[in-house]
Amino acid sequence: MAIKAKVAIAIDFLSAFLTIPKKQQGKILEFLTKFRSNPTSPGINYEKIIAAKDPNMRSVRIDKAFRGIVLKPEKGNIYVLLWVAHHDRAYKWAENRTVTIHPETGSIQVLNVEDMEHVIKTAVAEDSSNLFSKYKDRHLLRLGVPEIQMELVRSLKNEEDLDEISEKLPQEASEALYYLAAGYTIEETFREMDKSDKSCSKVDKNDFESALDNPDSQRRFYIVEDDLKLLEILNAPLEKWRIFLHPSQKKFAKRDWNGPVRVLGGAGTGKTVVAMHRAKWLAEHPFSGDNDRILFTTFTKNLAADIRENLSMICDRKSMRRIEVVNLDRWVADFLKKTGYTFQIDYGNRTKELWSQAIDMAPSSLTFKDTFYREEWERVIQPQGVCSSKEYFKASRIGRGVKLNRKDRKAVWTVFEEYRTLLNENGLKEVDDAMRDACYIIEKQGNILPYRAIVIDEAQDFGAQAFRLIRRMVPKGKNDIFITGDAHQRIYRHKVVLGKCGINIMGRGRKLRITYRTTDETRKWATGLLEGVKIDDLDGGTDDVKGFKSLLHGIAPVVKNFNSLEDESEFICQFLKTKKHLKSVCLVARTHTLLNQYDAILKEKGIETYNIKRSEPEDRKAPGLRLATMHRVKGLEFDHVIISGVNKGIIPYTGYAGKSCDITIIEESEVLERALLYVSATRAKKEVVITSFGKKSPFLENIT
């Protein structure tokens, strides 16, 4: 019986497929179905490419005009789809590429030989001041630097030189070199790259079938297991990032953990991708019961909707039936309703008048502003679950800018006591109270939930009561809780220490450092907004951006200020005229009111718009310029992003901190506003434009 051929598809093939007209794409799909079912079929005519530098290169005929490029190694029954293009361009691509197995790492690397020959000829001679002069060849080789590029790497003088040639290097080599350039030791770099500083077992440079199993190979090649999966991939090529996992993403998502895990990472590092693949991996592994479920939860409705849609693209139906995707507030409301809960949960819309009534009960001896009581409630009372004056006397107030002695606390408590009474009289519960009640019900009734694992995305926006509830919702044990987040992107008023919520991540904290969405120019601009700001790691420590890097390069962010809204709008319209596909562009504004203003102006000028709604996933097929608030755009990505109305009084939003008397509140509110701008800018894959009119935001004062 003949051994079935193994077929793999390269990420470059998908990139090339994207550029081909739809009519030809249909013909390619027809060819690939036949190719996948039997790559040795007599109807597939493999032609050797005479001028190719790699003897394993072959061309295959798609139609009269288009050719595919296939790697057909002499050893093994394996076929790798590398590229597809018009006849001449396909042959030109193949002639200048070599596909080799790295002798130290065992990964498959595709190199542009012609490009490298040109760069090496212009390289500066190595001396002791060069960027990587202190590292031995054997160390650089074990980090993935190809032998043919060693001379080039050794000639680099500084990080700017590395930026210029990084796209010509294999991705794993670029990443390792950036770690070294950022100041990591060779030992730290090996650890970050999950590689050994010792020689590996002998690598067979002709065994491509085994090399495809290498984690670094799998960031570039995907083994196609069936025809249906191949068609799904090719029909949704924009989602290719979901199948080509980075080795660090894969090792976090696809393994057994002995307890809760926390994965940090800057914008665009793939945290949500890791979380989704974690849920998929868990769903595909044996469960103790048919009704066991995985809960995938996040902070907002819209993010949950987006994640549910994206999960359905990578999971089969059986796996999806095991995964429940819902934002936590919705889960709490549904759970309590099933238990006969009679209170209504208030999300901040109905308590303003109750607070006014409660504050009227404050003793005349107190001179605090009205805002003080609400801040004390949100930052001390609710996070710590304080329910009595005795508990308030013992409660920690670290981080509050206003000191209180015991007498003051007793007087202040009368306001909180009255507020709770008013909530009860009106049949209302705040979200934190509802979570605490849900936690109590679960504790009282025992193991009543079907969850054997919980995956949390955007963890930085969850509060302490949320994490205490999550801990109660799933039994302690292997693979119980998986958390992804980034406090640099915290845009709501929550700060937690996981350990204090019963979630012990000791020894299971990990970090993603390479961003795959934004250009490095955008990354630098965005991280500059938070420069000098102390950012937490969700567990009482401090996070940093050391090694946070993008391997992509492009246009530096453009910052423009105009005299009027009309001038700003005219610039935006002219900018949009340069874009072929408006649905790849998103205009972002701080408030709904401002966004509606831009919407009206753009429609008046004949520009079609599509408003991304608060609790619905984006319809990617709908035409028109995307419009979104800064909060709604979180979790999305676009080729081009316009951040408009970045004016003084809008960013930072003057209504955010209110009239607080607490300097800590004012400072933290400013950090949240900086984070909003950071999040908005890092939604852009290729280009970000920041505009304002009148007086620009103070955040832009030192930026041209």
| Burial (Cβ within 10 Å: 0-12, 13-18, ≥19) of residue 582 | buried
Shared domain for 627 and 504, answered yes or no, is no
SS3 of residue 700 by DSSP:
helix
Q: What are phi and psi of 688, to 5 degrees?
A: -130, 135
Shared domain for 517 and 649, answered yes or no, is no
Nearest to residue 662, comparing CAs of 321, 370, 414?
Answer: 370
Question: pLDDT tens-digit profile of 646-674?
Answer: 999 999 987 644 556 667 777 888 899 99
Residue 120 has pLDDT above 70, yes or no: no
Range with the lowest mean pLDDT among 232-236, 263-267, 635-639?
A: 232-236
Question: pLDDT tens-digit profile of 455-492?
Answer: 999 999 999 999 999 999 999 999 999 999 999 999 88
Shared domain for 192 and 229, answered yes or no, is no
Domain carrying residue 217: 6-99+209-238
Shared domain for 84 and 147, answered yes or no, is no
pLDDT of residue 238: 45
Question: Has residue 549 been placed in a domain?
Answer: no
Report the pLDDT averaged over residues 354-365.
92
**Rounded Cα distance, 550 and 547, in Å:** 10
Residue 126 has pLDDT above 80, yes or no: no
Q: What confidence tier does 618 reach under pLDDT thresholds 50, 70, 90?
A: confident
Among 127-136, 255-264, 489-498, which range has the highest average pLDDT?
255-264
Q: Which of 151, 184, 202 is the last residue of a domain?
A: 202
Shared domain for 672 and 637, answered yes or no, is yes
Report the pLDDT averaged over residues 146-175.
91
398 compared with 617, residue with greater pLDDT: 398
Q: What confidence tier does 164 reach under pLDDT thresholds 50, 70, 90?
A: confident
Question: Has residue 537 been placed in a domain?
Answer: no
Residue 561 has pLDDT above 60, yes or no: yes
Question: Has residue 122 been placed in a domain?
Answer: yes
**Rounded Cα distance, 212 and 75, in Å:** 13
Shared domain for 632 and 687, answered yes or no, is yes
Residue 517 has pLDDT above 80, yes or no: yes
Question: Has residue 547 been placed in a domain?
Answer: no
CA angle 313, 319, 325 (to 5 degrees): 70
Shared domain for 95 and 157, answered yes or no, is no
Residue 503 has pLDDT above 90, yes or no: yes
Shared domain for 302 and 399, answered yes or no, is no
Question: Has residue 439 been placed in a domain?
Answer: no
CB atoms within 10 A of CB 382: 20
Question: Has residue 591 been placed in a domain?
Answer: yes
Question: Has residue 544 been placed in a domain?
Answer: no
Q: What does the chain come to in residues? A: 704
Shared domain for 50 and 66, answered yes or no, is yes
Tokens of 119: 């760069």
Shared domain for 95 and 110, answered yes or no, is no
Q: What confidence tier does 21 reach under pLDDT thresholds 50, 70, 90?
A: confident
CATH number, domain of 506, equals 3.40.50.300
Tokens of 154: 């050794």
CATH number, domain of 58, equals 3.30.2310.20
pTM: 0.86
pLDDT of residue 236: 55
Nearest to residue 37, comparing CAs of 227, 230, 235, 223?
Answer: 227
Domain count, the chain: 5
Computed over every residue of the chain, the mean pLDDT equals: 89
The β-bridge relationship of strands 638-643 and 585-589 is parallel
Question: Has residue 430 been placed in a domain?
Answer: no
pLDDT of residue 656: 46
Shared domain for 587 and 683, answered yes or no, is yes
Report the pLDDT averaged over residues 205-234.
82
Shared domain for 492 and 629, answered yes or no, is no
pLDDT of residue 248: 85
Q: Which of 526, 544, 576 is the last residue of a domain?
A: 526
Residue 606 has pLDDT above 80, yes or no: yes
pLDDT of residue 121: 57
Question: pLDDT tens-digit profile of 414-435?
Answer: 999 999 999 999 999 999 999 9
